[in-house]
Amino acid sequence: MSASERPSGQQQTGRPTAGATADSAFLRACRREPVPHTPVWFMRQAGRSLPEYRKLREGTAMLESCMRPDLVTEITLQPVRRHRVDAAIYFSDIVVPLKAIGIDLDIKPGVGPVVERPIRTRADLERLRPLDPDDVKYVTEAVGTLVGELGATPLIGFAGAPFTLASYLVEGGPSRNHEHTKALMYGDPALWAALLDRLADITSAFLKVQIEAGASAVQLFDSWVGALAPADYRRSVLPASRKVFDAVAGYGVPRIHFGVGTGELLGLLGEAGADVVGVDWRVPMDEAARRVGPGKALQGNLDPAVLFAPRAAVEAKADEVLEAARGLEGHIFNLGHGVLPSTDPDALTRLVEYVHTRSASRAPSVKV
C-alpha cells in the first residue's frame, strides 16, 4: 500500500495504532454504542466483482489462492482501497479448514465445493480429525500482515457454520433440496449430532487462529440453514452453532451470525450466541429487530440485485434500509447476501459514500 492508499489511523510502520480499531464505527456498532455514521461492509466485497481481483487470480485455483498469504492479503485489501468500507473480511472459503485436515475436495468453477467421498456413515467421521493451527499457518501469516496493513480498519474473521459444512460433506457438493443431509439428520440423529459436533470443533479452531492472529470480529456463515424449520434448527443445529460461539466468547471480539432465507430463524440465530445477527433482504430491519429481541446488533440488508438499478433507485432502497434501522441498538449496513459477480464496482463505492453521508446527517455527535 502506498501512503495515499493506506486506511486512516495507520502508522507508517505498517502496524496499527494502539486501540485504533476499538473506536472504529464498525466495532462501535457491533457493541451497540453510538456511531458517527452507519458502518458499511459487504459480504463477498473481495472477489469477482472487482477487475483487479480477476486479474490477480488469473491462472490460480480458488483453494490455492486461499492458501497463499500474499494473495489473501492483496485480495482482502482491494475493496478497502476501492470502496472505503468500514471493515475488511478475510478472504477465504468455508471449505478451507476441511481441505486443511485432509478432506479430498475441490472448488470447481461454476459449481462450488465438490467432495470426492461424501461423509454419510459413522466410519466416515474418522476422516474429520481436529484442526491444528499448524494446518493453517498461511492463515496466521496472512491475518498478521493484514492487521498491520489495515491500521484502524477492523478485520473480520471468516468461517462456515457446522450445518452448512455438513451439508457440503453429506451431499458431496451444493444442493437445492439437501435431501441426503435431511435424511441423515432425521434418520440417524445420533450420527448427525456427532458430525456437527466435530465440525463445531474444527470451525472453532479455525476462528481461534484468526482471532489470535489479530482479527477484530468473526462472522459465522450458515449459508444453507434457511432450508430448515425452526424446530429442526433448535433441535439439530443450534447446539453445534452455540458450541462455536461459546468457544470464542472469551476473546471478547464481536461474533456475527448470518444465514440466507433465515427470516423464521432470526431469533434462534441470536440465541445461538451471536452479538450481531445478519439479516437477508426478505425481512425489514425493524421487523428483524422484533424477531431477534433486545441485546443484539443487526447487520443488513439491501437486496444485492438492487445495485443493478439506476443510482437514484439504489439510494432510495438504501434509505428504506436506513429508515427501518433507525432506532436499533446497533446497525451495520450490508447486503442481504453477497455481492453478485457482475455488479458494477462503482455502484458499491457510491453506496458506501451515500450511506456514510446520509447516516452521518442523522447521527448525534460522537467522540471517536
Q: How far apart are CA 147 and CA 125, in angstroms?
A: 35
Has 255 been annotated as catalytic? no
Q: Is residue 170 part of a domain?
A: yes
Q: Per-residue pLDDT tens for 287-344?
A: 999 999 999 999 999 999 999 999 999 999 999 999 999 999 999 999 999 999 999 9
Any domain includes 365: no
Within a domain: residue 9? no
Would residue 120 show up in a list of annotated catalytic residues for this protein?
no
Looking at the domain assignment, is residue 57 inside a domain?
Answer: yes
- What residues pair up with 185 in beta bridges, in sequence order? none
> Would you call 168 a catalytic residue per the annotation?
yes
Lookup: cell for 14: 505498517
Please identify which of the residues 90, 168, 233, 354 carries the catalytic annotation. 168
Q: Which of 28, 32, 44, 120 is catalytic?
A: 44
Per DSSP (E only), the strands in 92-198 are 105-108, 112-115, 155-160
Q: Residues at the annotated binding site for substrate?
A: 44-48, 93, 168, 223, 337
pLDDT digits (tens, 9 = 90+) for 30-82: 999 999 999 999 999 999 999 999 999 999 999 999 999 999 999 999 999 99
179 belongs to a structural domain: yes
Positions of E strands within the chain? 88-89, 105-108, 112-115, 155-160, 217-222, 255-259, 276-278, 297-299, 331-332
User: Is 364 among the domain residues?
Assistant: no
Q: pLDDT tens-digit profile of 159-216?
A: 999 999 999 999 999 999 999 999 999 999 999 999 999 999 999 999 999 999 999 9
Q: Is 44 an annotated catalytic residue?
A: yes
31, 57, 68, 81: the catalytic one is: 57
Look up the domain containing 54 and give its range: 23-357
Domain membership flag for residue 273: yes
| Sequence ranges of the binding site | 44-48, 93, 168, 223, 337
- Indicate whether 208 belongs to any domain: yes
> Which residue among 23, 31, 48, 188 is the active-site one?
48
Catalytic annotation on 48? yes
How many other C-beta atoms lie within 10 A of the C-beta of residue 226?
A: 16
Domain CATH for 161: 3.20.20.210
Q: In angstroms, rounded to a whole number, what is the distance separating the alpha carbons of residues 142 and 165?
A: 23
Query: In total, how many domains does the chain have?
Result: 1
